[in-house]
Amino acid sequence: MTLLGDRQQLSYIAAQAADARVNVELETEGMTLNIGPQHPATHGTLRIIARLDGEQVVWAEPSAGYMHRGYEKLTEVRTFPQVTALVNRIDWLGSFANEVPFILAAEKIMGIEATPRAQHIRTILFELSRIANVSLFLGDLGVQLGAVTPVFFAFRDREYVLNLIEAATGGRFHPNFDRIGGLKDDLPAGFIDETRSVMKKLRNFCDEIENLLFGNEIFQSRTRGIGVIPKEVALQYGLSGANLRASGVDWDLRRDQKIAMAWDKVDWKVITHPDGDSFARCWVRLQEVRESTRIVDQLLDTIPGGPVMVKVPKIIKVPEGEAWVSTENPLGEMGYYVVSKNDQGPFRVKIRSASFNNISIVPWVLKGVYVPDIITILASLYFILGDIDR
């Protein structure tokens, strides 16, 4: 953690302590505030139980499980190709990104690797789903602070990305496009030109959001120095993704691990921010959308030729073995531990989804904040309920 972050954290704690003293003098009564299970700020159905002292939270606890659909059990009664249709719906905003680690794990057990073209297109679609995911976050951020305009911008420009995904995969929301050994289809005609123009639009969208929100004084005062997560705490709680990078940890699985994807073939950089507050988390995500558009642009220039599918049998049987593959999904590290017993379906799948670990810090970070800040902190942590409860 940098000196700046240290000082900010200390001054914030000091301010909170001063306020707490005032509250003690006034003898405000305790009360329990129940946020959710259905609340717009929770991106679904998370319930937060907060015990308040006046305007301050003294204790907060997320109550998950309202969206628990039993994925890990369901995967045991599905075949391998069927599982991708299920896992699409874990993080429903970046659906394609959910399929990739599972398919990579299955391929790892089978000992096959997708063709270079398939890997390339996978990476493009992966980044497109990241853009679709995070652009909605950027719009939603305004709503949590009372600014409704950004969400219109976000939905407008997100449609272009969804159209691209639909053109390539046939599914606007849940592509179910990844196959063991490659992809279902090749890219459609005109996809590359269309994607280039959409990436230009998305960069404009980032500029717009930066002008609309990030320069706004109200936005800054509501997010700067609020919800500070120091580096050590972030690591202890197992945060991942942009939440971790916003605390100054230079960690990105796209760069740090060698997997059969095309990120190592292009020039991009990992965005970090030293502060660890709500603003840093939002800022890192905004920059990541920009980086993603750059990645996609470069990948479009270098798509190799060849087939998109290697030879695999019609009825896929995965030999006995175990594999763990995780990727840097829009929300953070998402991994699958697949155990196969030489059958058509997996024997057991353990799903590590990013949001579950990301919200584990909620009790820590909400301690001592004011009630309105609960919403901005939750919004900036950015979780998706399907990703928490599975």
Partner 1 sequence: MGLVDRGRLPKPLTTLFNMGRSYSMWVYQWGLACCAIEMGAAFGSPRYDVMRLGVIPLPASPRQADLVVISGTVTDKMAPAIKRLYEQMPEPKYVISMGSCANCGGPYWDSYSVTKGVDQIIPVDVYVPGCPPRPEALLEGIVLLQQRIKNEDMGARWRGEGTVPMNAVDGESAERGGVPVVAG
Task: Give me the sheet containing 30-35, strands edge to edge.
Answer: 30-35, 47-53, 56-63
Q: Assess 204 for contact with partner 1 (CB under 8 A).
A: no
Q: Which of 112, 147, 151, 303 binds partner 1 (CB under 8 A)?
A: 151
We find the least distance from the C-beta atom of residue 179 to partner 1, in angstroms, to be: 18
Only one residue has tokens 């020039």, namely: 267
* 12 or 66: CB nearest partner 1: 66
Residues 62-91 that bind partner 1 (CB under 8 A): 65-70, 73-74, 77, 85-86, 89
Residues 32-61 that bind partner 1 (CB under 8 A): 37-38, 40, 44-45
We find the least distance from the C-beta atom of residue 328 to partner 1, in angstroms, to be: 22
Residues 170-189 that bind partner 1 (CB under 8 A): 172-174
* 73 or 350: CB nearest partner 1: 73
> How many angstroms separate the Cα of 11 from the Cα of each of 15, 18, 228, 284, 306?
6, 10, 11, 23, 59
Stretch that binds partner 1, among 106-114, 118-126, 150-158, 309-317 (CB under 8 A): 150-158
We find the least distance from the C-beta atom of residue 88 to partner 1, in angstroms, to be: 9
Structure tokens, 357: 């670990």
* 151 or 266: CB nearest partner 1: 151
What contacts 24+ positions apart, CB below 8 Å, involve 336-344? Answer: 336/87, 336/101, 336/102, 336/105, 337/105, 338/102, 338/105, 338/106, 338/109, 340/106, 340/109, 342/317, 342/318, 343/317, 343/318, 344/79, 344/80, 344/315, 344/316, 344/317, 344/318
For 91: left if phi > 0, alpha if psi spans -120 to 50, otherwise beta; the answer is beta
Q: Helix, strand or coil for residue 298?
A: helix
Q: Helix, strand or coil for residue 382?
A: coil
We find the least distance from the C-beta atom of residue 191 to partner 1, in angstroms, to be: 21
Only one residue has tokens 């599972």, namely: 102
Q: Assess 269 for contact with partner 1 (CB under 8 A).
A: no
We find the least distance from the C-beta atom of residue 154 to partner 1, in angstroms, to be: 9
Residues of the shown chain interacting with partner 1 in the complex, contacts defined by CB under 8 A: 37-38, 40, 44-45, 65-70, 73-74, 77, 85-86, 89, 92-93, 136, 151-152, 155-156, 158-159, 172-174, 385-386
